[in-house]
Amino acid sequence: EKNDNWWRGGVIYQIYPRSFQDTTADGIGDLPGITKRLGYVADLGVDAIWLSPFFKSPMADMGYDVSDYCDVDPMFGTLADFEALVAEAHRLGLKVIIDQVLSHTSDQHPWFKESRQSKDNDKADWFVWADAKPDGTAPNNWMSIFGGPGWEWDGTRKQYYMHNFLASQPDLNFHCQEVQDALLETVRFWLDLGVDGFRLDTVNYYFCDAELRDNPPMDHDDNAAGLDAPDVNPYGFQQHIYDKTRPENVKFLQRFRALLDGYEARTSVGEVGDGARSLKTVADYTTGGDKLHMCYTFDFLGPNFSPAHIRDCVEDFFATVEDGWVCWAFSNHDVDRHVSRFAKTEAEREPVARLALSILATLRGSVCLYQGEELALPQAELAFEELRDPYGIRFWPSFKGRDGCRTPMPWNKGEPHAGFTTAEKPWLPVPAAHLPLAVSEEAMKPESVYNHYRATLAFRREHDALQDGDIVFHDSDNEDVLIYTRMKGETTLLFVFNFSAEPQSVPLQVAVEHVKSLDLPGMTGVLNGAHVDLGAFDGYCARI
Ligand code: TEU
């Protein structure tokens, strides 16, 4: 039975509320829609859901611009709807993790509206304000991730304010104690409502350099996931050592953790996207058991899916982060869906989806799945006119934005908009290519990727060593093959995976008489003498 440590090795299913299920016929998903579909989520065999933001917001960044931390946006429902959602989730045995966007607010948040009035109001220091340089330009060279300078001039206050993302997402000033206190009060509000945990958006951006020093130029090797390529994003021109990932954050995270520890069995997962420096940051934020429970890096959110990359990332993680904990993910609402990143052809899409999940579910760490990946949905191709993501609209066509992974869940092939909405037009279209992959189709087929997810997650639950057992990688002279063991107590489980479309015969490095083959769902690798024979994108598991 899971306990206070349920999150350690737990599986989280990310729901993007706008695109899960509409019940009000406005073309946008809502909380009652999620509640209605929780049975489906529980049946997949996950431990928790993570809900992307549903708070009051002008939706300039699809809810990652919050104007009231303690209320539900009418677009998504009411607080009562949220309480009903939590009650239903708990009845089904699902924990509920919500997304806290504490680094910045919306410019429509009352705190910012007050702060921008003058240099001496009660909230004057709640945001990062600075005078212009003598020539009128911005205080320093900091850039916004969404393009252009990280500073916006305010005509009323006659100062610049800092923003890491849109100009309508002003950065809160964490050096101000009152800001920390106010944010922790909002966290307490949700804890008291029964929320089981928090995903902390851009947790390494909370503090900026108090002296506002210029950033040095970017070292491009320092760009692990390749998301910050300068031709796509001017953010990549700088090494953000002054406006992000400040050591001061550790103390704030200790305050945050102390608050959570006053409640039972709560958890937190921080989003740390910071290129090659991520692991140092994750170590700072998750070791010692008095800060975050776990972090989320961008290691597996880029184009690279190979045995060497997976081994390097996992080994580096546990070597650097020691007793800290990770939550791995291949997909989320910010990146192209992973089957489209990893599979070279349409024929490879489903085999790659199966292989990726078999690995994800057997690595050391917690797991985060993104809605629709259990259907092996490919990235949607959208026309410029259909885009809603300000990031994509800004950089089109070199970067097409994040809408292609945010299209609505296809529930039922036979219904308009695949059963997502009865509105004439959903906020983003359901791609035609997703219709044959709808839940109504996939659930019926025993061999579907969807049923592979259910069986593989069940396999994970059955084996204690897969929750938090150690992991050791083993060398192979075949670069298409990944071999590792998971160990806990007396149990050692061996895994062998083939990342190529060619069959492989892999020499076994243990005496055959000690090997007891296990049925790894959806995988057909077999023991053949002193070798494991694997088909294309295949896997094998044994107790040794
Ligand atoms: O994302 C943080 C972040 O760093 C992303 O901008 C990432 O670099 C980019 O999306 C990669 O394509 C979080 C949220 O997940 C994202 O949806 C928000 O837009 C962002 O914060 C601002 O709140």
Mean pLDDT of 381-410: 95
358-384 confidence digits (pLDDT tens): 999 999 999 999 999 999 999 999 999
Amino acid at 142: W
User: Taking residues 244-251, what's their average pLDDT?
Assistant: 90
Task: Grade residue 297 by pLDDT with cuts at 50, 70 and 90.
Answer: confident
pLDDT for 287: 94
In whole angstroms, give the CA distance from residue 497 to residue 481.
6
Q: State whether the beta carbon of 201 lies less than 6 angstroms from ligand 1.
A: yes
pLDDT of residue 153: 98
Between the ranges 210-219, 235-244, 277-286, 302-311, where is the mean pLDDT highest?
Answer: 302-311
pLDDT of residue 224: 42
Please determine, for residue 443, whether its predicted confidence score (pLDDT) is greater than 70: yes
What pLDDT sits at residue 534?
A: 98
Residue 55 clears pLDDT 90, i.e. is over it: yes
Q: State the Cα angle at 172 between 167 and 174, rounded to 5°.
A: 150
Predicted ipTM of the assembly = 0.95
Q: State the pLDDT at residue 238.
A: 81
In the chain, % of residues over pLDDT 70: 96
Q: Is the CB of 61 under 6 A from ligand 1?
A: yes
Residues 6+ apart with CB under 8 A from 91: none
- Look at domain 11-107+174-458 and name its CATH class: alpha beta
Taking residues 68-74, what's their average pLDDT? 98
| Ramachandran bin of 34, using left for φ above 0, alpha for ψ from -120 to 50, beta for the remaining angles | alpha
Atom 10 of ligand 1, residue of closest alpha carbon:
334
Residue 2 pLDDT more than 90?
no
Give mean pLDDT, residues 305-315.
97
* Residue 76 identity (one-letter amino acid): F
Give the contacts of 130 (CB within 8 A, at least 6 positions apart).
139, 140, 151, 159, 160, 161, 162, 212
Rounded to the nearest angstrom, the distance between the alpha carbon of 369 and the centre of ligand 1 is 17
**Alpha-carbon distance 328 to 15, whole Å?**
16
The β-bridge partners of 149 are 143
Q: Which residues are catalytic?
A: 201, 271
Peptide linkage before 149 cis (omega within 30 of 0): no
Tell me the pLDDT band of 227, cut-offs 50, 70 and 90: very low
- For the sheet with 531-534, list strands across it: 504-507, 531-534, 526-528
Instruction: Check whether 276 has a pLDDT greater than 80.
Output: no
Neighbours of 79 (CB within 10 A): 12
One fold for 11-107+174-458 and 469-543: no
Nearest protein CA to atom 7 of ligand 1, as residue: 334
- Ligand 1 centre to CA of 271 (Å) is 9
pTM of the model: 0.96
Burial class (CB in 10 A: 0-12, 13-18, 19+), 68: middle
pLDDT on residue 346: 97
Cα distances from 305 to residues 208, 343, 366, 410, in angstroms, run 33, 9, 18, 26
pLDDT of 226 reads 46
- For 186-209, the pLDDT digits (tens) are 999 999 999 999 999 999 999 999
**Residue 67 pLDDT class (50, 70, 90 cuts):** very high
Pocket test residue of 18, 109, 145, 233 for ligand 1, highest count of atoms within 8 A of CB: 145
Q: Whose CA is nearest to atom 20 of ligand 1?
A: 64
Q: Could you report the per-residue pLDDT of 446-499, keeping only the tens digit for each?
A: 999 999 999 999 999 999 999 999 999 999 999 999 999 999 999 999 999 999
- pLDDT at 177 > cutoff 60: yes
pLDDT at 111: 98
Q: Whose CA is nearest to atom 11 of ligand 1?
A: 334
**Topology of domain 469-543, CATH:** Immunoglobulin-like (2.60.40)
Which of the four pLDDT bands, split at 50, 70 and 90, describes residue 24?
A: very high
pLDDT of residue 228 exceeding 80, the answer is: no
CB atoms within 10 A of CB 268: 24
Choose the weakest-confidence range: 47-61, 324-338, 387-401: 387-401
H or E segment to which residue 444 belongs? none
How high is the pLDDT of residue 59?
98
Domain boundaries, the chain: 11-107+174-458, 469-543
Q: What is the DSSP code string of 498-519?
A: E-SSS-EEEE-SS-GGG-EEE-
